[in-house]
Each structure stands twice: as structure tokens, then as C-alpha cells.
Amino acid sequence: MSRIGKSPVTIPAGVTVEVSKENLVTVKGKLGELLQQIDPAISLKIEDGSVSLDRASESKDHRSKHGLYRALIANMVKGVSEGYKTVQELVGVGYKADVKGQLIDFSLGFSHHVFFILPPEIKAESIIERGKPARLTMTSHDKQLLGQVAAKIRSLRKPEPYKGKGIRFEGEVVRRKAGKTAAK
């Protein structure tokens, strides 16, 4: 039995969870609304302020989807009630990000600026402090979308192993290489 799949998802106050006939789960909260299509082999029960999932059989496919959809619904409930946040550091001389609404203007050491348009569900803020690398903070109620956008921004300039310059997640450890040694 899936340990993740069989644990119920508690619904906090102010959040509503609805299931349509086509197995479309709708989660509404103070931060927004999220939709997720559920496989027909997985059935949902909403009772006593919690959501529990059951699977049709013990096949490997159904067992894997059992835990997957429970985790997706838990992420949706947490997203519409609390939200998600990711912080990225821009490490390098002159590396910065200017946020203008849904448009981010990056200076990443190229001969040109890189522009990135955010989806409307994501809010961004750039923080520049003296002596620290520039930081880009993004918040959203959709965990999947936030992670996808953060990965796309990181791919604009991945951290390189010799000096460690690039875009990295806060707290990410970049393995460094020694580089060349002078020969005599």
C-alpha cells in the first residue's frame, strides 16, 4: 500500500475542494484557484474536512498514481492557502535583475540584456544589497508552474564550476573545480 497515497489531505479553513463527474478536482482558496485532472482509476472522497484517495486495483500503475495524485492535491491545497516562494541568487560582477511588472530584465554578463516574461500567476521582486549577490524572489500559488519558471530562469546562466558565477537557488552548493596551475 502506498504510504503517501493512503494518508488523507486535511483541508484548512477558507479552502474548498470540489470534484466533478469527469474527475476534475478544483481547489479554491484566498490566493487563487487550481484545477487538476485525476486518472479514472483513482477515486476521491471528501469528508470531515479532509480528502482521501482510493485506487481501483493493486497494479503497479495504479499504486504509483495513488501517491502522485495525493501529493498533487496536497500541493494544491497548500498553494491556495499559504502559497509558495522561491529565491534565486545572481552571482557575478554586474549580474542583476530588474522587475517591471511581469517583465524581468536580466544583466548576466552577456553583450545584451535578457528579457523574461512571467506568467500572470507569478509575482516577482528583485532585492539588491551591498556586498551580497542580487536576489530574485518569486511567489505563486501554483507549485508546478513556479518550479518550471525558476528552472527556466536558472537555465539562462547556469552556475559555472570555476568561479561559481551564474543563477543559483538560495542555499544551492556549487561544486568548484581547481582550474589550471602554472607550470615552471
- The phi, psi pair for 130, rounded to 5°, reads -65, 130
- Note the pLDDT of residue 76: 95
Contact 105, 97 (CB under 8 A): yes
**pLDDT tens, residue by residue, 21-79:** 888 999 999 999 999 999 999 999 998 899 999 988 888 889 889 999 999 999 999 99
Q: Are 15 and 28 in contact (CB under 8 A)?
A: yes
Which amino acid makes up residue 173? V
**What is the structure's pLDDT at 146?**
97
Which of 1-10, 23-32, 84-93 is least confident?
A: 1-10
Model pTM? 0.89
H or E element in which residue 75 lies: helix 60-81
Task: Tell me the per-residue pLDDT of 134-178, one tens digit each, with 9 for 90 and over.
Answer: 999 999 999 999 999 999 999 999 999 999 999 999 999 999 998
How many angstroms separate the CA atoms of 77 and 106, rounded? Answer: 33
- For residue 113, count CB atoms less than 10 angstroms from its CB and return exposed for 0-12, middle for 13-18, buried for 19 or more: exposed
Burial 125-137 (b: 16+ CB within 10 A, else e): ebeeeeeebbbbe
Res. 179 pLDDT band, cuts 50 70 90: confident
| CA 140/CA 80 separation, integer angstroms | 9
Question: Is residue 182 over pLDDT 70?
Answer: no
Domains of the chain: 3-81 (3.90.930.12), 84-169 (3.90.930.12)
Distances in Å between the Cα of 119 and the Cα atoms of 124, 138, 159 are: 10, 11, 24
**What pLDDT is stored for residue 21 in this prediction?**
87
